[in-house]
Structure 1
Amino acid sequence: MKTVELKILCVLFFTVFASAQVPMTDFDLGKMAGKWYLVGFATNAKHFVKTYKADMKMGTAMLVPTEDGDLDLSYTHLKSDGSCFKLKNIAEKTEIPGRFVFYNKRWGNDNDMRVVDAKFDEYAIVHTIKTKEGKSEVLNKLHSRTATITDDLKEKFRQFCLDTGILEENIAILTKNGEC
């Protein structure tokens, strides 16, 4: 009896994990356009908690659709020394709406990015699989149209992160910060 229960549990786990990686069915590239605040960040990268989590603060993202249907991604955040960190990539569309791929020159990794949930005038949850030298890591981001989010949205993001295999201590709701 326990073997059957274990098999059912495994099937349910893999179904939830697989569905969490599927882009949303009603993705609208035009509605992703504009300014977003990066308010949540979570990863299964081993170095995250020790190296980055304590110092991370909210940043902004400008998402601009290109004529070809790709997505111009520009991220900035104000560092503690007053300088600006900037990161820019062009995420190329795939045959699946809401799924994009790009190579990040700064970090030297391939990125498979999927918009998995969004209410475009409020929030977007983005799930990215980053691969470098044959090793993959998961990165989830919570984007919001405002710098303040509800407790319900925080919980939604937290649960999504747990469902995609990220430990609780690797989930960060970022504190407000000045803008670049």
Structure 2
Amino acid sequence: MAQGLLWLGLVLLATLQAQVQGSSGSLIPAPALNKIPLQPDFKEEQFQGKWYVIAIAGNSINKRKQGQAKMYSSTYRLLDNTTFSVTSLLVRNGLCERLMRTFVQSSKPGQFTLGNIERYEGMQSYTVRVVSSNYDEFAILFFKKLFKNREYFKMTLYGRSKMVPDDLKEYFILFVKSLGLTDNHILFFVPTGQCIDDD
């Protein structure tokens, strides 16, 4: 009897671990926006320009499956006082790709929504929040979207150059882990010269 209960307990434990570790149906819940800092006195003009994506961390990222990935860049151009045109350059399957989006400022400076959201099938909401930036070296952004009734979030570490100081990387890791993410949810990119320096 005791062995049977022990065996049953081990089977249940293994099942729970499998569900937590990688069930495609479960995601770490996204934090409420009021739990995410917002850059005080956000300066749109200083934020615009090219940013290299040094690292991302999110509830749908699996470092073990994705392995090493090449760095990409995002260039923010101020269209007016409240809207950015964002052009991302990346390498996919050996080819250069250009993605374009528009971020429209909400009532809070430094917080944006995706413009023309109806163009993105299945997208119900998309919020971008500038968490912290010194404008000339780094920026940390929070992205949260509701897509086909599933809530995804990610943090992005930007750099004005392809390298940032190690203490900034360590801060980024600590911050994303405070949101419930693990090392497997954090992906640092390999610098590349292909495509991302164009434009």
TM-score normalised per structure 2 = 0.74
Q: 1:49 to 1:173 in 2, by over 3 A?
A: closer
Identity %: 23
Q: By how many angstroms is 1:62 displaced? A: 0.6
Which among 96, 111, 119 is matched to residue 99 of structure 1? 111
Given that residues 41 and 171 in structure 1 are in contact (C-alpha distance below 8 angstroms), is that contact kept between their aligned partners in structure 2? yes
* CA gap 1:152/1:50 in 2 versus in 1, 3 angstroms: closer
1:68 and 1:150, CA in 2 relative to 1: closer, same or farther beyond 3 A? closer
The answer (yes or no) to whether the contact 1:101–1:111 under 8 Å persists in 2 is yes
Is the contact between residue 64 and residue 184 of structure 2 (CA under 8 Å) also seen in structure 1? no
Letter in 2 for 1:30: E
1:174–1:107 CA distance, 2 compared to 1 (3 A): farther
Tell which deviates more after alignment, 141-150 or 98-107: 98-107
CA 1:48/1:107 → structure 2, altered by over 3 Å: closer, same or farther?
farther
Larger Rg: 2
Q: Indicate the residue corresponding to 2:126 in structure 1.
A: 111
Q: Write the letter of the residue equivalent to 1:59.
A: Y
Amino acid at match of 2:159: S
- In 2, are the aligned partners of 1:73 and 1:89 still within 8 Å (CA)? yes
User: 2:107 matched to 1:124?
Assistant: no
Distance 1:164 1:32, change over 3 A: same
RMSD: 2.2
Shift of 1:105: 4.6
How far off is 1:179 after superposition?
3.2
Give the counterpart of 2:178 among 158, 163, 171.
163
Q: How does 1:70-109 map to 2 (within 5 A)?
A: 70-81=83-94, 83-102=95-114, 103=117, 105=119, 108-109=122-123
SS in 2 for 1:158: helix
Which of 71, 75, 79 pairs up with 1:66? 79
Counterpart position of 2:4: none
- How many residues are matched? 162
Normalising to structure 1: TM-score of the pair? 0.81
Q: Deviations over 1:76-101 (max 9, x none)?
A: 112352x1122111011100010001
